[in-house]
Amino acid sequence: MRLDELNAQERRLWDAFPKGRPVDLREDPSTSDPVVRSEVVAALLLGANADHDPGDRPALRLTGAHLTGRLDIGFTEVAVPVRLTDCRFDAAPLLQGARTRELALTGCVLPGLLADTAQIDGRLVVSHCTLTGPLALTRTQVNGDLDLRDTVVRFPAGEAIAAVHAQVGGDALCANLDVEGTFRLSGASIEGEFDLEGASLRAPGGHALDAYHIRVAEDFTCHPGFSAEGRVILSGATVAAAIGFCGARLSNPGDIALEAVDVTVDRNFDLGLGLTVDGTVKLDGTRVGTELSFRDAELTRQDGTALSLRATQARETDLRTRRPIDAVVDARNARLGTLYDAQETWPTDLRLADATYETLAFPLPAAQRVHWIRRTTGDYIPQPYEQLAAAYRRLGHEDEARTVLLAKQRHRRATLPPHTRLWGHVQDVSVGYGYRPLRAGLWLLALLACGALYFAQHTPAPLEAAKAPPFNAVFYTLDLLVPIITFGQEPAFGPRGPGQWLSYALITAGWILATTVTAGVSRTLSRQ
């Protein structure tokens, strides 16, 4: 390139380049539109002005320029840092396959930036910029930080930011990022923190954030102020520290708002402290190293499932939401560790089939906890009752455990045919299905008192007067009630009239009590 072909702004840049001096064209009063051709910038970056003194550090530092044409340095190697501030581009720069030391665009306006498969040895900064086209970073390798703070990207027709399988050696700084379109970085690897604090992602009806199988070596932070319209996908992600959505707003009405299936989080997964969600939160198969929290979150779903925790694992789980979830909370097959909840925020429909928890942080009386289990529209399932009873036993509350298991039998009875249900009522009234053994003793005492009083006043006639022992109303009634022992009274006397019918009733009651007690004992032994 010939020097006499350069305009005044380009000549200033040309002369400043060898020593890396900054050039600010906003200070030039001679023109309102400081034009710099992109081909001049490309020529400098590719060695057009290589003459410099020993010790000089060439760099391209340009502020306030209007870059015409297209800056194309694709598949080249740029040995100097590039810093462009408050510049305006006519065409999206092409950096595919390029290798640069550092690239920093600050406050620039661009129709897009295409840097697929590029390699940045230092930082890649696209901060406080406005892009009216896509930011393409697929398979780009950034050895330092990726800085997208306060940048606006508008590409609602497709992927506004595409960073599929990108590799970031430092932090991904996306605070206050404003994206219209999909932000896709599936398969990406970030060796530091992924910070989306205050970011706004909008792709209504589509994928606002697609971070499928992303790997983050530190925190994945989406709080406070983060908002997303459309689906947020974290499925398959691995996060070595914590994930946080405190104070965030997620909206995808009638569909999945947060899809985090099979995620592995070494520390906390915090979805509370002001999080609001319009749509479904799906965390099936996710493994949380410490606490999974929905404390003070607000989840809304018009119908269907608002929160899915199927096969989720956590050391602690906090379900104390800001208000009750008026939809399905599906925790089937989940391992919830220590479970925190509050009666005033129990969900409308709670599904706990095959869910387990080590302990309840707030056990509550068993009668109330039974209502917690029954908050489901599904069929009768015994396991939630058995799990709750086991939790009470671990706390040493055996009476509460029996109350839960009695409620299980009553729930089961409601599903049986009428004739079988009748026998269940007999077992319930008599001995509480074996979980109320004292009830059998009370029935026995009541029947014994009734029989003894009657036969004391209406002594039955002896069958053989010479052989009959002295009549004793109490032991005669015991002979009738207890079928497995005899005191010699019942075979020696024969009642007549009402006494005969009373004896039949006492014999029948004795057999019923014996049968139900035996069934209860057998059930207890089988549990143990």
8-44 pLDDT, tens digit each: 899 999 999 988 899 999 877 777 889 999 999 999 9
Provide the whole-model pTM: 0.81
Q: What one-letter code names the amino acid at 448?
A: L
Concatenating the DSSP letter of every residue in 246-272 gives TT-EEEEEEEEEEE-TT-EESS-EE--
Round the average pLDDT of the chain to a whole number and report it. Answer: 87
Report the pLDDT value the prediction gives residue 195, as an integer from 0 to 100.
96
| Residue 26 CB coordination number (10 Å) | 11
**Among candidates 136, 247, 257, 154, which has minimal Cα distance to 197?**
247
- Lowest-pLDDT choice from 37-51, 95-109, 200-214, 418-432: 418-432
Residue 528 has pLDDT above 60, yes or no: no
303-344 pLDDT, tens digit each: 889 999 999 999 999 999 999 999 999 999 999 999 999 989
Using an 8 Å Cβ cutoff, are 263 and 240 in contact? Answer: no
Report the pLDDT value the prediction gives residue 253, as an integer from 0 to 100.
94
Report the pLDDT value the prediction gives residue 427, as an integer from 0 to 100.
59
pLDDT higher at 417 or 228: 228
- Lowest-pLDDT choice from 29-43, 425-439, 455-469: 425-439
Residue 66 has pLDDT above 90, yes or no: yes
368-384 pLDDT, tens digit each: 888 888 887 667 788 88
Run of H or E including 335: none
In sequence order, what are the beta bridge partners of 291? Answer: 316
**Mean pLDDT on 481-485:** 72
Report the pLDDT value the prediction gives residue 13, as an integer from 0 to 100.
92
Alpha helices (H) along 332-436: 366-373, 383-394, 398-413, 418-431
Report the pLDDT value the prediction gives residue 389, as an integer from 0 to 100.
85
Distance from C-alpha of 54 to C-alpha of 295, rounded to nearest angstrom: 62
Report the pLDDT value the prediction gives residue 432, as an integer from 0 to 100.
58
Number of H helices, E strands in the chain: 9, 43
Distance from C-alpha of 98 to C-alpha of 121, rounded to nearest angstrom: 11
Concatenating the DSSP letter of every residue in 64-129 gives S-EEES--B-TT-EE-S-EEEES-EESS--B-TT-EES-EEEES-EES-EE-TT-EESS-EEEES-
- Lowest-pLDDT choice from 44-58, 71-85, 114-128: 44-58
Report the pLDDT value the prediction gives residue 122, as an integer from 0 to 100.
93
- How sure is the predictor about 211, in pLDDT bands with cuts at 50, 70 and 90? very high
| Residue 470 three-state SS | coil
Say how many CA atoms lie within 13 Å of 334 toward its Cβ.
Answer: 29
86-126 pLDDT, tens digit each: 999 999 999 999 999 999 999 999 999 999 999 999 999 99
Most confident of the ranges 168-172, 220-224, 461-465: 168-172
Report the pLDDT value the prediction gives residue 224, as an integer from 0 to 100.
82
270-304 pLDDT, tens digit each: 998 889 999 999 999 999 999 999 999 999 998 88
Residue 516 has pLDDT above 70, yes or no: no
**Residues of the chain above pLDDT 90, percent:** 57
Run of H or E including 292: strand 287-293
Distance from C-alpha of 45 to C-alpha of 147, rounded to nearest angstrom: 22
